[in-house]
């Protein structure tokens, strides 16, 4: 009898030790895996004509990045039609998406070979774009707004001149630098200051807020999944997005340079 009690005592003690082992504790916090985020700045139709930053280059770059999700400059209300047309015809026929070679010639075709999900995040709408064009046209012809319009045009020229002076126009390395963003800001900040409120939803800050609201929804949905998220937008938006993304502590922002180096 004493032997049995001694045996049970030993088993009970082993159980207590096992339960006290920190590695087995149910209270051990789970390590959160931050998503990796990259922002790829595109030059839209320029990809069809540039000798370096062309369609083939974009294709290689996205393959190298190996994203799990691509957050695209595609309006959510245009996405289903774009996907439907691509599945039916193996090409894009949706009018808005057709404007972007990065999607028509690269991203959508790559879905047949790579395992990523496209998430449409653009805040653009047709009525917004039409209203913006009409208001800018009216401002340009308004005799009481001559000073504002000249300031806007002057800022555009300063930005273009500074960009050309770098000798790196459409250089993918340069496009993915803070210096590029600061040069774009020469014109964009003046445009924003003069016209953002007046242009309503089409103002520079306003449209970026709309874009980023959708981007942030996607980031929240996939938070702490340890995935790689690639945001693809026109290069002018890159600086605005990065300023917001850098405020987050739940993601790791990756520099594009290492991926550019890898495809040389």
Contact 137, 199 (CB under 8 A): no
Question: Which H or E run contains 35?
Answer: strand 35-42
Q: Is residue 5 in a domain?
A: no
Domain that holds residue 228: 35-262
pLDDT of residue 28: 62
Total domains present in the chain? 1
Separation CA 195–CA 67 (nearest Å) = 36
Contact 194, 148 (CB under 8 A): yes
pLDDT of residue 17: 41
Separation CA 176–CA 173 (nearest Å) = 5
pLDDT of residue 93: 96
pLDDT of residue 191: 98
pLDDT of residue 31: 79
What are 10-34's pLDDT values in tens digits? 444 444 444 444 444 456 667 789 9
Q: Is residue 9 in a domain?
A: no
Q: Which residues of the chain have pLDDT under 50?
A: 1-2, 4-8, 10-25
Q: Is residue 146 in a domain?
A: yes
Q: Is residue 93 in a domain?
A: yes
pLDDT of residue 27: 63
Q: Is residue 17 in a domain?
A: no
Three-class SS of residue 76?
Answer: helix
Q: Is residue 6 in a domain?
A: no
pLDDT of residue 230: 99
């Amino acid at each position: 009898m004493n032997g049995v009690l001694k045996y049970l005592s030993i088993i009970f003690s082993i159980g207590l030790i096992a339960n006290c082992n920190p590695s087995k504790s149910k209270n051990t916090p789970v390590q959160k895996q931050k998503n990796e985020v990259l922002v790829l700045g595109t030059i839209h139709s320029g990809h069809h004509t540039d000798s370096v930053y062309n369609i083939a280059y974009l294709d290689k770059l996205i393959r190298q990045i190996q994203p799990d999700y691509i957050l695209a400059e595609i309006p959510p209300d245009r996405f289903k039609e774009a996907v439907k047309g691509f599945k039916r015809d193996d090409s894009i026929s949706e009018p808005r998406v057709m404007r972007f070679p990065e999607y028509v010639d690269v991203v959508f075709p790559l879905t047949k070979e790579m395992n990523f999900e496209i998430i449409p995040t653009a805040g653009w709408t047709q009525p917004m774009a039409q209203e913006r064009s009409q208001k800018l046209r009216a401002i340009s012809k308004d005799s009481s707004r001559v000073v504002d319009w000249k300031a806007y045009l002057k800022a555009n020229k300063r930005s273009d001149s500074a960009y050309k002076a770098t000798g790196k126009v459409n250089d993918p390395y340069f496009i993915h630098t803070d210096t590029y963003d600061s040069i774009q800001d020469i014109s964009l900040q003046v445009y924003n200051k003069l016209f953002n409120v007046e242009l309503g939803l089409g103002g520079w800050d306003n449209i970026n807020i709309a874009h980023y609201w959708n981007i942030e929804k996607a980031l929240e949905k996939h938070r702490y999944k340890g995935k790689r998220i690639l945001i693809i937008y026109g290069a002018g938006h890159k600086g605005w997005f990065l300023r917001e993304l850098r405020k987050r502590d739940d993601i790791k922002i990756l520099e594009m340079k290492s991926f550019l180096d890898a495809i040389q």
